Amino acid sequence: MLNYIGRFAPSPSGPLHFGSLLTAVASYLDAKHNDGSWLVRMDDLDPPREIPGAADNILSTLDAYGLHWDGEITYQSQRHDLYEAAVQSLLTNNQAFYCTCSRKQLAEYSSQQDQPTHSPYPGTCREQHTPPNIPFSIRLTTEGAHQPVCINDKLQGRFCQNLITDVGDFIIKRKDLLYAYHLAAVIDDHWQKISHIVRGIDLLDSTPRQTHLQQLLGYNTPHYAHLPVVVNEQGQKLSKQTFAKAIETTQCSRVLWTALSTLGLKPPTLLQHEPPEAILKWGTLSWSTKAIINVTRINSTQITIDV
C-alpha cells in the first residue's frame, strides 16, 4: 500500500494497560503489514490529568515490547501554535464562535427538551463573534451540517451521525484555555500525513465530529478501523478509571503472544517463548482483521493473563 502512515497516540495519564497495548499492537501490525510507517504521538493536552513520568514510562514499555516507532515522538503540548491558528481561522470564517454558556445552563436546557430533533446545544451564543469580557469556550458550529456525516469503518462498517441532533455545536477550545481532543487530533493527523487510524471503538462516536472538522479545514479524511475494546467483569472498558492493571515488562513475550491471540490471530504456542521482535515479525506476516470485524467488545475473562 502506497504511503501508509499510521499512529498510536496514548495519553500520559498513567501506564499502558492491556487494552492500550492491544491498540498499539494492532495499529503497529496494520502499518507494518502494509509496508507503512508507525508513528507515536503523545496526547499530553490536559496537564491536570497527566501523571508525572507517565509519558516516559509509556515509551519505555513500547520499546520493551519491540514496538519501535518511526521518526520522532510528537508531543501535543508543543503544538499549541498550530491549534490556535486553526481556531482563529475557524472564527474568521464564522465556523466557530465564542460561548459563555455554563454547564448548568446547558443541563437546564437539555432537561426541558422532549423532542429528539432538538440540538443538544441551543445555539445561544452562535452569533457571538467577538471575545466577551467573561470566561468563554470556543465552539464549532454544526448549523450547516444538514446531512448525516458518515464514515466507512474497516471493522465496524458504515457509521453515520447527525451532528445537529446527536452532538450539537461542540467545544474546540475550553474555558480553561486547553484545546479539545477533537481539534488537536485532526490537526496533528493532517500535519503528520496520517493515512490510517486504528484505535478503540470507544472513539467511533467522535469520528464524525473529526470528519466535519477535517472538511471545514480542507483536510483529507484518513481511513479508520475501530477495534473492539477489552471490558472487565462489570462490562466496563479497561482504563485507568476502572483500575486496569499496568502491563509488566518482565513477561513481554507472553503478554504480546496473548495480544495477538486476542486480536484473532493464531500464533504458534512455542512463539510465546521467542523475543518480542520475533513475535511481531510473525504478527506482521500473519496480520488479518477478519476475526474482529463487527466485534465491539472482548471480555477480559476470555484472556489468559491477568488484566
Q: Give me the average pLDDT of each 10-residue run along the chain (307 residues).
A: 90 93 98 98 94 96 98 97 98 96 77 61 85 92 88 97 92 96 98 98 96 96 96 77 84 96 95 96 97 92 70
Domains defined along the chain, listed by start: 5-75+228-302 (3.40.50.620), 80-150+160-183 (3.40.50.620)
Q: In whole angstroms, what is the distance from residue 284 CA to residue 125 CA?
A: 50
Cα distances (Å, whole numbers) of residue 264 to 8, 26, 152, 252:
20, 11, 22, 19
pLDDT at 294: 95
For residues 69 and 39, is the Cβ–Cβ distance under 8 A? Answer: yes
Q: Which residues contact 159 (CB under 8 A, 6 or more apart)?
A: 150, 151, 153, 204, 207, 208
Does the pTM of the predicted model rise above 0.85? yes
